[in-house]
Structure 1
């Protein structure tokens, strides 16, 4: 039994303190157990080629909610006692078990320290570290490109240097870089015959003493002797060598060229004549179209309708198309304006008269400088041809068609039988 209430209160306080310390001890022990179970990543490995770097590691725990953080720092910063090193984070809280360091352009001759930690639901593991020197640890890659070119009976090998991640030559990092060239003769069954090697620092190498018209294959490997680095060989490149062309091959080419020229000329001539015949048959067809036309037959008063089958050349006269003759008007002045006739003429010769040719030659009997016309004659009993003439008064104007008269003539004197007459055009 408790002596008083004060003793009971002290007992309760001591019990509560003991319970608190027991809980605190239990939490501490549990935290240490979890931390002990979360181990850091293992087997850090660098996968490199020229200036491409990738850090990878292993994780043996069964937890799937794990994340990793990767950091790096220059080694000389760790040796400095004046200031603490500054770690650069390359990959943070990533579930991948690798981290690409290529994009950070690590100095090729520098030395770096890399570290990785694991994180599971807020519980982190310890850091695991690895030292990395690109110049020493990075692998050297093969040539980026190899090409073969014919050089007479030999072959030229054109080699392109290995490239960095920024497409620069690796010779910037390996000044003494050279190549091992492996070449061999390829047989019919693609087997290598007489393998030979050649060492050269040049990018263009001529393979000597090769057989003409023979297939050869080439493979190249990069080398550097400072850390004894060797790349893998490139895939084989094959090409046939050349040589002097034999006489039968030259003759064959000559004959072939002649045959080709002959065929080209033959096709050209045939095409020309075919085009000519086609155009001629189109523009001038052998079969006339079935036209019908009228023809004025000789000795007939009515035209006749003919077809292409009719003998039009025998039935029709030839027709000549001539331009229309100009028609000239001749003005005859009144009698009082005419000059007096010369003495010795007959009384009826004072008047005008027209003379016509009895042979029917078509001459009107009036001579004019302007062409065909009709004239008015004074009152007379009869003309020399027996034609009646109108009475006294002004002359009538008649139009007479005349051919082959020169245009543009001016007024001139015309000798009409016994008298001279003025004629105005």
Structure 2
């Protein structure tokens, strides 16, 4: 059939946990939690053994340890996770004609047309075995005619398995599953459907599309398509150099270090917010300086994938001080985040408290409503604030600084 696609989905099983078990073989087969230590920490990942106790990611560590007091806790190793992710990316890049790195541990491969030359499942299975052999990490594989069905197939193949759904069998494969097995169907949507008696994908697929639209808006149309095994989303080619950046040319050249620091903070917060809005993480930071004589210098560093301002700011300032020549006036500075991958805050959960994560979510919610400059660190705002981490509010802002500080004391730390 014209237009038939072949899409493979690779997913590194319990990625953080698997890396920890590779570092310490004695952890294998035990209830293992990766995340922030102590009562205020958060679970970033947990082993299958821990999940049997009802533990899941983003759960407060204190609660997880109440559910499973004998669980082993590891603080996480962002650098090691990023290194393994880069290693797997390199192997897929060498072999696949077109691939998308959808997160630190997930990949889509568009293999359309390859079956004319050799068995697609055989080729994909051999690539999976190569990754397992070289990294010693488990990886599951799903193969289907579109991204959504291949992802569901991968989830069904876990742990460390593979599953192929023949073209034309998508609806049959999905039909008996619970509605929340469909990607992007969260607890709230699933609850709405169940209240209306919709328990399985088969039932969902039989509901008229107009009725689903009336229930759930545009999301109802998308849901109907998914329930019927339809997904036309393309595999977006992964470009390592895709980036988010900003720079500022000053009206007059300067050597004022406090001002330069303040600009670095402002720019880093601006594009850090953009990262989180796009659900992306960065693995590389570049700082650029142009002096008054137009000499331009740049320096970059690879970092563990993150979108957290406090981590990004530390690295940006470190790069700036390595570059900056105090004898020269500065004309321009710039900051760029590259090596972007899709992903959320999860990779930082092992270094942050539940309060810090809630703080970021609250700040980004406010910025989304009123603009990214609505709330900034003190060192990036008006001179009346001492450099630091105090919030700065616009004069007519409906949220008062003192109230915000009382509610989120972590902002000033």
TM-score (norm 1): 0.21
Which is greater in Rg?
1
**Larger RCO, structures 1/2 (Cα 8 Å, 6+ apart):** 2
TM-score (norm 2): 0.22
- Identify the structure with the greater strand proportion: 1
